[in-house]
Amino acid sequence: MKLLRYGKPGKERPGLLDADGKIRDLSEHVADIGGAAISPASLKKLAKIDPSSLPLAKGKPRLGPCVTGTGKFICIGLNYADHAAESGMAVPSEPVIFMKATSSIVGPDDDVLIPRGSKKTDWEVELGIVIGKTAKYVTEADALNYVAGYCVINDVSEREFQAERQGQWTKGKSCDTFGPTGPWLVTKDEVKDPQNLKMWLTVNGKKRQNGSTNTMVYGAAYLVSYLSQFMSLLPGDIISTGTPPGVGLGMKPPKFLKNGDVVELGIEGLGTQKQTFVQDK
């Protein structure tokens, strides 16, 4: 299934995408896409629903973030060897973990605000893992049983805030609108191999990133297991798993986003996003 949330910000309704690419309303079956609604038992029930029996959404509504109730937005740094190289950093011997504020989460096609004072706003297409049931001390072999599904994430980053302003990376990753998420939560049964998905990103129509999850240093199952040794992963939590090479920081000379730039990105089978970057006042 491709689960989604649609409507105005803060008033999104639960839905799914049918085989014809139309949005069907799920409000009679779940309150929203998150928490108990994405548990294994709930997803099993939802999968039995005939999409044609569900009401069609009217018009072309805005898509919101594909999951709600996210308590933790966990990111993995330098998880592609070639991206680590372009960043001038070594491949880590263990996953690099940092948090992205949940207040950064927006819909996949919402405008992204370039923060006041920003000089180095950058892009990063990433595979997102959405947790479906509580995971604590899980093994790598069992880890994907705790996953509800996958989604596209643009881990927007302000490089000066991230690396030149002292402290940890969080403040360069957590600005308002820096977490476009969606368009859909694609349930794991539709993703045969999360380690073999093509991914791409363009800026103003020019290809900047063109990679695959098969070059990740630490795969999805390993990351879920690894993180669960340090913290409980709860339904709705998101793990953003790192980006392939081609970010603005790695260009020679570096190139960053400015007011009016349009970024498009996608991952095979998981949909696409499109954002206009707008200078915050």
pLDDT in tens, 231-245: 999 999 999 999 999
Residue 167 pLDDT greater than 80, yes or no: no
Inform me whether the pLDDT recorded for 213 exceeds 80. yes
Span 45-99, pLDDT tens digits: 999 999 999 999 999 999 999 999 999 999 999 899 877 777 787 888 999 999 9
Q: Report the C-alpha gap between 122 and 83 in whole angstroms.
A: 14
Query: What pLDDT band is residue 150 in, cutting at 50, 70 and 90?
Result: very high
Task: Grade residue 31 by pLDDT with cuts at 50, 70 and 90.
Answer: very high
222 vs 84, more confident? 222
Burial of 21 (0-12, 13-18, 19+ CB in 10 A): exposed
Q: What is the pLDDT of residue 82?
A: 78
Strands 105-106 and 271-279: unpaired
Lowest-pLDDT range of 20-29, 90-99, 186-195: 90-99
The answer to which of 87-91, 180-184, 212-216 has the lowest mean pLDDT is: 87-91
> Rounded mean pLDDT of 114-118?
97
- pLDDT: is 217 or 89 the higher one? 217
Taking all residues of the chain, what is their mean pLDDT, rounded to a whole number? 96
Asked if residue 249 has pLDDT above 80, the reply is yes
Asked if residue 159 has pLDDT above 90, the reply is yes
For each of the domains in the chain, give its residue range(s) and CATH number, in order of start: 2-53 (no CATH), 73-279 (3.90.850.10)
List all residues 6 or more positions away from 133 whose beta carbon is below 8 Å from its beta carbon. Answer: 39, 40, 146, 148, 235
162: helix, strand or coil = helix
Strand runs labelled E in the chain: 2-6, 13-17, 23-25, 73-77, 96-99, 105-106, 112-114, 121-122, 125-131, 147-154, 157-158, 179-180, 185-187, 198-203, 206-212, 238-240, 262-267, 271-279
Cβ count within 10 A of residue 41: 10
